[in-house]
Homo-oligomer: A and B are copies of this chain.
């Protein structure tokens, strides 16, 4: 759910600390609820998140939003546009306060060609993203919302973060109404079986889930 990429972050720290080319890399700051990237715009930077949490989402013409993923430390964004010069696919909006490395397209292209490590990191990142997306989409299409919601709550607690309710709903592709309803039903049934969710949870995390669950 909240993706991170420590290896990428580490690379950027090294790179900005030592490489002469890295002068071009700026560090930008974004306040909560402001956008790093705006859907439809043409941009000239690729960002790598240094600190904070963002949401990556698409706004459809009918006013509905669909959140693809939450991007945290070390995640790259704007890379699709950096690879193929097209308009931005989706919005990247800061949920918490965010700082990010801003890599100009020119440098990005240079890195891809001349820095094997960087190239490799990006390749792996894209591969992971595709894999995760596939798993999630399929899961959400083929299982009842109930399961997906439970799983999402578990992930949220496991990562010890708080995501606004409306964002969770948008992530599941449902309305807040449905979200609330399902939540209520789960509570009524008193079913909370993280064992069946295929997520590793410590005892502490499990308690955390239960606590949040009651309070929501």
Stretch with Cβ within 8 A of B (4 or more), from A12-20, A118-126, A155-163, A203-211: A118-126
Task: Give chain B nearest CB distance to A146 CB in angstroms.
Answer: 13
Stoichiometry (number of copies): 2
User: Which parts of A99-156 form the interface with B (CB within 8 Å)?
Assistant: 112-113, 116, 119, 122-124, 126-131, 133-135, 137-143
Task: Give chain B nearest CB distance to A89 CB in angstroms.
Answer: 6
User: Which parts of A47-103 form the interface with B (CB within 8 Å)?
Assistant: 58, 60, 62, 64, 66, 68, 79-80, 83-84, 86, 89-90
Task: Give chain B nearest CB distance to A115 CB in angstroms.
Answer: 12
How many of A's residues come within 8 Å of B, CB to CB?
Answer: 37
Q: In the bound complex, what is the Cα–Cα distance between A127 and B88 (angstroms)?
A: 12
Task: Give chain B nearest CB distance to A118 CB in angstroms.
Answer: 12
Given A112-B123, A113-B116, A141-B173; 17 other pairs, CB 8 A cutoff: A60-B143, A62-B142, A64-B142, A68-B134, A80-B131, A83-B123, A83-B127, A84-B127, A84-B128, A89-B135, A90-B134, A126-B127, A126-B130, A130-B130, A133-B134, A133-B137, A137-B137
